[in-house]
Copies of this chain bind each other. A is one copy, B any other.
Amino acid sequence: MTTTDAGPPYDAELMAAVAELGGAMRGLVEASVATTVDADELRAAADEVRTVTGRLAASRRPATQLPSLDDPVTFRRVYNPVTGVGSPLAPPLVIRAADGGVVAEATLGLRYEGPPGFVHGGVSGLLMDQMLGAATIAAGLWGMTVHLELDYRGPLPLQTPLVLRARVAEDAGRKTLVEGGIALASAPGQPLVEARGVFVVPRSDRLEAYFGAITDAAGRPRPPGRPTDATALERD
């Protein structure tokens, strides 16, 4: 069974299974940092976790080979640590085009804690780098981060609905300037974190040096680059 979005067809059953495991893993990660069970129970859980690891490690891809569900040209990346449906690290953000830029919602659990009760400042940086990059893609642009800058007006509480936004401020050819922020969903006009980023398309010789060895699951070269359109993002 195959399905298409903006990118090449993919195996919809495999996509559903990757998303199911990703969701289960995110639940386990959160439970593991919030639990107060005793040491015996923790060790028993570790044993079970290692058993699952053995099952999944039966076959694995090398770092130069993209997952079969991925398409770097339309930025379908199922294990991206911010947006990947299969990533245990990701909230995951569902980023959609809106208001001339991109927007996403998130409610962050204890696993993202920095100061007690609040989101780790670096987690805001992680999420905003992805949001800013997604804004370039939504605008039909693309680039690698060369500068990222954040101002923190106040701490972001855990377990509280947040809204993240980003939009291209200036398209200067190979270089794109993007800005955005994170606010409480209950006060979306008052961002608690403000972010600015600069994204640059590497020159062709560098693109080749960086990504020349990257292939899709079938072994065909598959470097990232500027998409011809940005329909991989959900549209309002």
Contacts and interface: CB of A to CB of B under 8 A. Distances in A.
A66 to B, nearest CB: 6
Nearest to A197: B121
A176 to B, nearest CB: 14
A163 interface: no
Nearest to A214: B116
Given A35-B60, A82-B122, A86-B32, A117 B210 contact: yes
Nearest to A36: B59
Nearest to A34: B60
Q: How many copies does the complex hold?
A: 2
Contacts of A55: 37, 41, 44-45, 48
Interface string A122-136: 110111111001000
A6 interface: no
A207 to B, nearest CB: 10
A81 B214 contact: no
A125 to B, nearest CB: 3
B42 A17 contact: yes
B128 A159 contact: no
A55 B88 CA distance: 18
Contacts of A48: 48, 51-52, 55
A155 B144 contact: yes
Interface in A106-124: 110-118, 120-123
A59 B23 CA distance: 21
B116 A211 contact: yes
Nearest to A206: B154
Nearest to A144: B115
Given A63-B117, A81-B123, A115-B211, 9 more contacts: A13-B39, A44-B55, A45-B56, A81-B113, A115-B224, A118-B210, A122-B128, A122-B145, A125-B150
**Top-3 shortest CB links A-B:** A125-B125, A122-B129, A121-B145
